[in-house]
């Protein structure tokens, strides 16, 4: 995975740095990681799988 990814997290996350997930997107993959330990490998899914996850999460 590229180290040039731009990671972001919810604006509701606060500044304490814990209990959040961070997401980075690129054309063919969505990367998700734990903000408490960014050295652990990220979970990588396809954009289609991410879209289904988001749809089912907010439903």
**Domain regions of the chain by residue span:** 7-56
Which pLDDT value is given to residue 17?
A: 60
Which pLDDT value is given to residue 40?
A: 92
Predicted confidence band at 53 (pLDDT cuts at 50, 70, 90)?
very high
Length of the chain counted residue by residue: 59
- Residue 50, CA atoms < 13 Å, CB-side half-sphere: 15
Which pLDDT value is given to residue 44?
A: 97
Average of per-residue pLDDT across 3-15: 82
Residue-wise pLDDT tens digits, 10-41? 877 766 666 788 999 999 999 999 988 889 99
Whether 50 shows a pLDDT value over 70: the answer reads yes
- CA separation for the pair 21, 41 (Å, rounded): 13
Other C-beta atoms lying within 10 Å of the C-beta of residue 9:
14
């Amino acid at each position: 995975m590229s180290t040039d990814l731009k990671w972001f997290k919810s604006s509701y996350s606060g500044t304490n740095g814990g209990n959040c997930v961070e997401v980075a997107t690129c054309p063919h993959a969505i990367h998700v990681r734990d903000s408490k330990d960014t050295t652990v490998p990220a979970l990588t899914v396809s954009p289609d799988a991410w879209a289904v996850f988001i749809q089912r999460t907010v439903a």
